[in-house]
Amino acid sequence: MRDELKTYYTAADLDPENTIVAPGEYPFTRGIQSTGYRSRMWTMRQYAGMGDAEESNRRYKFLLAQGARGLSVAFDLPTQTGYDSDAPLALGEVGRVGVAISSLEDMERLFNGIPVEAVSTSMTINSTAGTLLAMYVVAARRAGADIRKLSGTVQNDILKEYIARGTYIYPVAPSMRLTTDLIAWATEHLPEWNPISISGYHMREAGSTAAQELAFTLANGRAYVEAALAAGLPIDSFAQRFSFFFNAHSNFFEEVAKFRAARRIWARWMREVYRAENPRSWMLRFHAQTAGSTLTAQQPENNIVRTTLEALAAILGGTQSLHTNGYDEALSLPTEQAARIALRTQQILAHESGGADVADPLGGSYYVELLTDQLEAEAEALFSKIAKLGGTLSAVESGWVQQQIQLSAYAHQQKVDSGETVIVGVNRFQSLAEPEIPLQQHNPDLEQRQVERIRALRQRRDQAVWAHSLRHLKDAAHSTANLMPKIVESVEAHATVGEIADILRQVFGEYRETVSV
């Protein structure tokens, strides 16, 4: 990209049609709030989940004590793909990359002693999003919370699972139904909750360019809008609760421009294409996470610097919430020390850098404004290609989107291998001896303890109530009814994540990936 840049830019390089408007004004290029962070700081989240519910609960309480203002739950792979901890396919994966949640009782243990009405909770869960949200809501209600005061986000973005992440279960059509059912149900019952977080993060981790992340994320968002409209929801009933999740990557100025372009495109779509009348429906609100794919196992302390730059790009780009990665995450789940440094990074940027003193401090920079226009133009070109393929769902089902990301990932790796792209400590400036750092250790006893718990639950629950709830769920899946009330009923009857997923597997079948050559 550097070869394509001029030495410097002036006003003559800018598009006169994209005039500089004030922060808080449509199309929100400079941010959705006129005061930026002066009136409200971004939510400082730390993504965490490890082992079983008790271990993760301890980490959450540690983070809150260190000044985190929101929690972000990482689930293990069995939970994400609809398997209980004692399933044969879960063997060896329980609690490895996140917390194992198989039942309502697990969810209650996870949030034991945490004031859920006062803490914003984000859950990275997609195929089983309805079940995990139901467990969170029922657990909160049983703890005495007013569920209408619950705030947070459930990812619930199934399209990017087919594109980049792979934790899908069902074919695309029934998966979209589950996504839309959750949106409709949450719109009615959880007015402070974001029922979807449309995620470009994982596409960027898979190797997409900034322009591809921008375009494919917004195209997915548009598909969800149209699915909700087709289900009979008025645009202003749900659009203002949609949220986005972007990657904060390493090219500082390009990332700032990406966030600005995203707001501008989305605002125009919501107002001019979908005719939303509420200005809040025009506002693209997003969470950002620093790029895991830029973390290196070599010289891991350098990752603190990388994360700081990426976090600052998200802040100057106007993020509403932020997670900063631990410097040791190329090697393991973060230790408490690494998690504390990651959180302190946000706090230093918030209170010592001056970056939060002015809304969109880079607005008006010739270079940033040009990059914003260029990224918007590249995204528009990709939107046109998607339209020619029949829309987002067709582009995903055919494997075209996946192929574009794979090609970009391959091109990037070729540049790293050749040395054209420098990765400090990897292909330049290597050290002969790598420092040893303490790593988070996985407790092998946790899996057996979790297995014993789920089996004990199955023995003591009311079998008649449990069986009745799953029959109701299966009947609803065969109909066109919203599935969320029946999922909630099953959760209350102590049906497990795997049992609920298996009922839906019986009705919907399972997805098999399309390979594009």
Tell me the CB-side half-sphere exposure of residue 230, using CA atoms within 13 A.
Answer: 13
pLDDT tens, the chain, 517 aa long: 566 789 988 989 888 878 789 999 999 999 999 999 999 999 998 888 888 999 999 999 999 999 988 899 999 999 999 999 999 999 999 999 899 999 999 999 999 999 999 999 999 999 999 999 999 999 999 999 999 999 999 999 999 999 999 999 999 999 999 999 999 999 999 999 999 999 999 999 999 999 999 999 999 999 999 999 999 999 999 999 999 999 999 999 999 999 999 999 999 999 999 999 999 999 999 999 999 999 999 999 999 999 999 999 999 999 999 999 999 999 988 999 999 999 999 999 999 999 999 999 999 999 999 999 999 999 999 999 999 999 999 999 999 999 999 999 999 999 999 999 999 999 999 988 877 888 777 787 899 999 999 999 999 999 999 999 999 999 999 999 999 999 999 999 999 999 999 999 999 999 987 655 4
What is the number of domains present in the chain? 1
Q: Which of 426, 433, 164 is nearest to 306 (CA)?
A: 426
Output the pLDDT for position 514.
62
- Asked if residue 461 belongs to a domain, the reply is no
Amino acid identity at 204: R
Q: Which of 106, 148, 101, 110 is nearest to 129 (CA)?
A: 101
CA distances from 106 to 17, 90, 112, 113, 258 (A): 54, 16, 10, 14, 39
- Asked if residue 259 belongs to a domain, the reply is yes
- Cβ(482)–Cβ(185) below 8 Å: yes
- Asked if residue 207 belongs to a domain, the reply is yes
The encoded tokens of residue 108 equal 């209650």
- Asked if residue 329 belongs to a domain, the reply is yes
> Measured in whole angstroms, how far is the alpha carbon of residue 344 from the centre of its chain?
22
Q: What is the pTM of this model?
A: 0.95
The encoded tokens of residue 95 equal 């609690």
Give the alpha-carbon dihedral of 347, 71, 243, 406, to 10 degrees: 90
Output the pLDDT for position 90.
95
**Residue 141 domain boundaries:** 2-22+32-418
- Consecutive H or E run containing 74: strand 70-74
- Asked if residue 503 belongs to a domain, the reply is no
DSSP state of 424: B
The encoded tokens of residue 28 equal 């929100």
Output the pLDDT for position 517.
47
- Cβ(128)–Cβ(497) below 8 Å: yes
92: left (phi over 0), alpha (psi -120 to 50) or beta: left
Output the pLDDT for position 14.
87
List Cβ neighbours of 498 (8 Å cut-off, separation of 6 or more).
Answer: 78, 82, 83, 84, 87, 102
The encoded tokens of residue 461 equal 């629950």
Bridge-based pairing of strands 242-248 and 321-323 is: unpaired
Cα–Cα distance measured from residue 201 to residue 213, given in angstroms and rounded to the nearest whole number: 8
List Cβ neighbours of 77 (8 Å cut-off, separation of 6 or more).
Answer: 90, 93, 96, 97, 98, 167
- Asked if residue 447 belongs to a domain, the reply is no
DSSP state of 180: H
Q: What CATH number is given to the structural domain containing 253?
A: 3.20.20.240
Radius of gyration of the chain (CA): 22
DSSP 407-438: HHHHHHHHHHHHTSS--BTTTBS--SSPPP--
- Asked if residue 460 belongs to a domain, the reply is no
- Asked if residue 459 belongs to a domain, the reply is no
- Cβ(64)–Cβ(39) below 8 Å: no
